Structure 1
Amino acid sequence: MTFFNTLFLTAVLLLLHAPPCPAAGGSWSVLLPSIGISAMHMQLLPNDRVVMYDRTDFGVSNISLPNGKCRPNSTDCSAHSVEYDVGSNTIRPLMVLTNVWCSSGTLMPDGSLVQTGGWADGYRRVRIYKSCGTCDWKEIPNGLTQQRWYASNHLLPDGRQIIIGGRQAFNYEFYPKMSATENSPSFPFLVQTNDPNVENNLYPFVFLYPDGNLFVFANNRAILFDYSKNQVVKTYPTMPGGQPRNYPSTGSAVLLPLRLKQGVIVDAVEVLVCGGAPKGAFANANNGRFDGALDTCGRIKISDTNPQWVMETMPLARVMGDMLLLPNGHVLIINGATAGVAGWELGRNPVLSPVTYRPDNQIGSRFEVENPSSKPRVYHSTAVLLRDGRVLVGGSNPHDKYEFTNVLYPTELSLEAFSPSYLDSSSSSLRPMIITSPKKSNYKMRYGRRVAIMFRVSGPVDVNLVSVTMVSPSFNTHSFSMNQRLLVLDTSNSTKELGKSTYRVVATAPPSGNFAPAGNYLLFVVHKEVPSPGIWVRMQR
């Protein structure tokens, strides 16, 4: 046999024994062709409504304020915020007074969205929205001690939120304030990670660590931070390659699922950071040269004594992508572009296919490319998880005004839903349905207490493959979902069959607010990686 024949035979054998490429999954549907605004910011509320808004100086939107209202001292009588009712698939316009452009926010324990900062007259504003069918935004002038634009927020175990950074704001503060004289402590880490020409540390990635400290990632580095003492507890290695991952190089990040057993974390606490744009990409894009986005992810066990980044390669490079935790513990990477950076007219080549990342698989078999949308979602696009397991997708406006014609990527006013493959009809016999206890809206869970959940599955059930997860509803903007976390609760092999197709599982709530700050969560029963529709629960002290 010749060398070339041997080479050919070897190649054929390798192909025959290679693992099959996963088939694309998931499906898309257009929910509304227009919501009147571009959904730049998005928050799911515990009544299955979603608040969305863009900015007040975009020009006139495509939805009017109700009852002939106009914003004070303005000729703009259009809305720049709306409330979307998931159940009825309808929109209600809201009145926002000051500019919410590139702001941030947190869903508070009482179910109200407390939103902070913005541009110009919105720099130091605090805005509160509590949904009630006829309610509207309430604004607090000078509710912040510093100007906050491109800041990140996180709910804390004490029920307050911390607001970190922002453009030229190398400090942090809290809301609500403990006193009128409460100040804004300096945060040198933001100075150290700041590139004065690009500011690649805006919208830093912030996650609550189970000891009560905060993991903060900015530019290409991360620390563990004790905000109560204003001290760095641990410094992590720079991500290999040293490429920037935060706005405007805009990658995304998640805290991977926290698995609980007898009140402690099983295995490790891990963070995953994906995508972004290389050094120099911002300057190049402003000069008409659009660098390819990063195709790497960095994963790090932040709980290790000697943590190190492990790098992985995505099947699709992505900048301005959103990363969402799905109820079964997988990570969905969605939206974005394959070239350029975040900013007006600075992104190119939209990436239309989401990618699913399976954290528990072996390296090399974690990514799966899903079916594409037909709508580019580039700069200022958003995505949030809904209670039924779908992902709501909106936004995309890479222009400084509403532009619908004669531009490369028109302003997008539509609202879509991406249904992951676990919602396919082929999985219906595996899908649990929660039927009783807890069944009422906003069921109250106490830390460390056990709760029995009854559910029904139409097909055969493997009781060893049933789990219970809790997902916090996140505030999404600029490719980062603030306050996002998923906990896999301790069920201790408690799943029992009660009767035909009816089962009970007993789950233990998280032990403290360090694991899950008090507030509203979506609780799911998961069977063979197929989640039930969620129910709202409320963690209480």
Structure 2
Amino acid sequence: MASALITILLILILINIHPTISSSNWTLLQSNIGITAMHMQLLPNDRVLIYDRTDFGASNLSLAHGKCREDKYDYVLKRDCTAHSIEYDLLSDTFRPLMVQTDVWCSSASLLPDGTIVQTGGFNDGDHVVRVYKSCDDCDWQEIKSGLTNRRWYATNHLLPGGRQIIIGGRRQYNYEFYPKISPTEKAYSLPFLVQTNDPNLENNLYPFVFLNPDGNLFIFANNRAILFDYSRNQVLKKYPQVPGGHPRNYPSTGSAVLLPLRIVQGNVSVVEVLVCGGAPKGAFINAQNGKFDGALKTCARIRISDPNPKWVMETMPLARVMGDMLLLPNGDVLIINGGSAGSAGWEYGRNPVCNPVVYRPDSPLGHRFEIQTPSTIPRMYHSTAILVRDGRVLVGGSNPHIYYNFTNVLYPTELRLEAFLPSYLDPRLSSSRPKILPSFRTQFGYGERINIQFMVSGHVNLELVSVTLVAPSFNTHSFSMNQRLLILEGGNTTTAIGKAKYEVTVKAPPSCFIAPANYYLLFVVHGQIPSEGIWVQIG
């Protein structure tokens, strides 16, 4: 038996297909960032914007220069001299406090093509507010008091091909609007689908899962079903079947979802798939309020939305999970991380932390796609977050399942630590196969332009196993990463050797703004499932 295993490993190495190495790892970055990371967005200068809600009471981080927030509407502190937002610098592993005036609790956001983040809504005095943040060494939040037509709390944002963002739903909001406005009188538009998916006892369609389809329309998933929606004409183009079992997957049942990697072939994307995983079963939220914590869902539902007659295909995760985050890794794998195995989202309603991430490999055979990863030692329950960063790590923070900052005498204390998950492709044993992109190409491209990328690999290279991916930096909160998108560029099989351990690959930029809305993206060269560090590029 042992000799047979050795033979298989040798064959895999000889043909340069790397055997699975379950050698993921964790590192603690900061033991106390002063606030809990309820919302996170990676910025195109390798800084991360982080914020929580403003009415938790005093945080553990003072505002700079003696500033204080005066807010007569705040439920806890009318005068608050502590921060509820920070900018974390990945390169220096430092952070600085930012000042946000109105309440950003359970809000939403999108990164715009110029690198500015536009954040919308929140709670209390923040529910109609638009906030803008453009990173620099001394920049801070700018607030537009009546930037929204309707109040937005638990809404979802998506960047559109024209550069505006659409803001969909929210608590008791069965409609959508756009920002920026075309005119001061631009209104919100009714979306009956959000009424149809609304549970009369509780709203199980908050933070809907929204993805831009390559045809320019939106895939919108709420509760347990989805539509293809033409937002420009306010028209439902297609209704997808209900997920088998009928269990809700959106807040507070809180599963997660991703648009699986889009492969561009001959200037088009012909296969478009969505994966929805985890959540809490019917009735779990009400049961948790009464002290009964139902087991989380163990199923994933995958659908090819590009098919004429699409159907959900069900899969079983190795670990049940509610409040988990799903992230696209640079090599096209899906990381499922954070959350618990019982209960529901909401204050004190989650139980049994799931500390082991799981990797899902979309291209592996059905039944062989999941792999359990090395666990963290930190429970990440309600209000935890995770984002991919440029070097391939995953930044993980947050967890505050309480109304206020509670560090003692609670089941899961408020969490101020920031850590990084290192997927197995960062194992030092794989360093000889890891590409290193050379700074030999420009980083701004129009649609369809050729991109020549030079890179180095110190070990043996199988040119047939080289690809180039683009990853859009997403806004993460409440187990959903808004605007998350991964493109496999056309032409990755054109790799040639140009010197000792030096190679060049020629690919095409995405063909249109419907496949890749104009924005900043992280570009990775991937060799045998091992990605390089990313390079920031602008497309469009």
* CA distance in 2 between partners of 1:279 and 1:139 (Å): 39
1:180 aligns with 184
Q: Deviations over 1:410-457 (max 9, x none)?
A: 000000000000000111011000013326xxx211101111000000
C-alpha contact (below 8 Å) 2:437/2:456 kept by paired residues: yes
User: For residue 345 of structure 1, what is the aligned residue in structure 2?
Assistant: 348
- Which residue type is aligned with residue 59 of structure 1? G
Cα deviation for residue 264 of structure 1 reads 0.8
8 Å Cα contact 1:22/1:368 also seen in 2:
no
Tell me the equivalent position of 1:12.
none
- Tell me the distance in 2 between the aligned counterparts of 1:24 and 1:374: 17
Is 1:385 the counterpart of 2:388? The answer is yes
Find the residue that maps to 2:327 and give its secondary structure: strand
Long gaps (5+) in structure 2 = 1-7, 9-18, 72-77
Aligned letter for 2:31?
Answer: P
**Which residue identity is paired with 1:435?**
L
1:28, 1:417 within 8 Å by CA — same for their partners in 2? Answer: yes
Q: Percent identity?
A: 69
Residue 396 of structure 1 is matched in structure 2 by 399
Q: Distance in 2 between matches of 1:322 and 1:120?
A: 27
**Size of the alignment, in residue pairs?**
517
Matches for 1:438-457 after TM superposition, within 5 Å: 438=441, 443-457=443-457
The aligned counterpart of 1:280 is 283
Say which of 320, 323, 327 aligns to 1:324: 327
Q: Deviations over 1:491-521 (max 9, x none)?
A: 1521010000000000101110000000100
- Do 2:468 and 2:492's aligned partners in 1 also have CA atoms closer than 8 Å? no
> Which of residues 192, 195, 200 is equivalent to 1:191?
195
Among candidates 359, 363, 378, match of residue 362 of structure 2: 359
Paired position in structure 1 for 2:139: 135
How far apart are 1:350 and its partner, in Å? 0.3
Q: 1:408 — aligned with what?
A: 411
SS at match of 2:65: helix
* 8 Å CA contact retained: 1:397, 1:412: yes
Corresponding position: 1:218 with 2:222: yes
The 8 Å contact of residues 467 and 492 in structure 2, kept in 1 or not, is answered as no
State the shift of 1:318 in Å.
0.2
Q: Distance in 2 between matches of 1:168 and 1:341?
A: 20
| AA matched with 2:62 | S
Among residues 61, 64, 75, which one is paired with 2:62 in the alignment? 64
1:243-300: per-residue Cα shift (whole Å, max 9, x none)?
000000000000000000120115x100000000000101000000000000000000
Cα deviations across residues 90-134 of structure 1 (Å, max 9, x unaligned)? 010000000000000000011001000000000000000000110
Q: Distance in 1 between matches of 2:448 and 2:440?
A: 17
By how many angstroms is 1:72 displaced?
Answer: 2.3
SS at match of 1:96: coil
Matches within 5 A, 1:404-483: 404-438=407-441, 443-483=443-483
Match of 2:338 among 335, 338, 362: 335
Change (3 A) 1:465 1:227: same
Q: Write the letter of the residue equivalent to 2:33.
A: I
Amino acid at match of 1:431: R
**What is aligned with 2:522?**
522
TM-score, L = length of structure 1: 0.95
3-state SS of the aligned residue for 1:298?
strand
Look up the match of 1:124: 128
8 Å contact from structure 2 (residues 70, 80) kept in 1? no
With normalisation by structure 2, the TM-score equals: 0.95
Partner of residue 256, structure 1: 260
2:4 alignment partner in structure 1 = none
The equivalent of 2:12 in structure 1 is none
> Which residues in structure 2 correspond to 1:300-319 (within 5 Å)?
300-319=303-322
Amino acid at match of 1:317: A
Q: Is the 8 A contact 1:471 1:485 kept in 2?
A: yes
Counterpart in 1 of 2:537? Answer: 537
| Residue of structure 1 equivalent to 2:31 | 33
Distance, in Å, in 2 between the alignment partners of 1:198 and 1:318 is: 21
Segments of structure 1 that go 5 or more residues without pairing to the other structure are 1-16
Q: Secondary structure at the match of 1:189?
A: helix
Q: Which amino acid in the other structure matches residue 332 of structure 1?
A: L
Which residue is equivalent to 1:290?
293
Q: Distance in 1 between matches of 2:340 and 2:20?
A: 23
Tell me the equivalent position of 1:52: 50
Q: Distance in 2 between matches of 1:492 and 1:24?
A: 27
The alignment partner of 1:131 has SS state of: coil
Matched, 1:43 2:49: no
Partner of residue 485, structure 2: 485
Deviation at 1:75, TM superposition (A): 2.0
Aligned partners of 2:466 and 2:492 also within 8 Å: no
Q: Secondary structure at the match of 2:288?
A: helix
| Structure 1 residue 24, shift from structure 2 partner | 3.6
Displacement after TM superposition at 1:38 (Å): 0.2
Q: Which whole-Å CA distance do the structure 2 matches of 1:223 and 1:311 have between them?
A: 19
Cα distance in 2 for partners of 1:451, 1:373 equals: 39
SS at match of 2:381: coil
When the two chains are superposed, the root-mean-square deviation of aligned CA atoms in Å is: 1.1
Spell out, residue by residue over 1:337-376, the C-alpha distance to the aligned partner (whole angstroms, 9 max, x if none). Answer: 0000000000000000000000000011000000000000
The one-character-per-residue Cα deviations of 1:180-224 (angstroms, maximum 9, x if unpaired) are 110001000000000121200000000000000000000000000
* Deviation at residue 23 of structure 1 after TM alignment: 6.2
SS of residue matched to 1:429? helix
List per-residue Cα deviations over 1:372-402 (Å, max 9, x = no partner).
0000000000000000000000000000000
SS in structure 1 of the partner of residue 514 of structure 2:
coil
Q: Tell me the secondary structure at the aligned position of residue 37 of structure 1.
A: coil
* 2:158 counterpart of 1:160: no
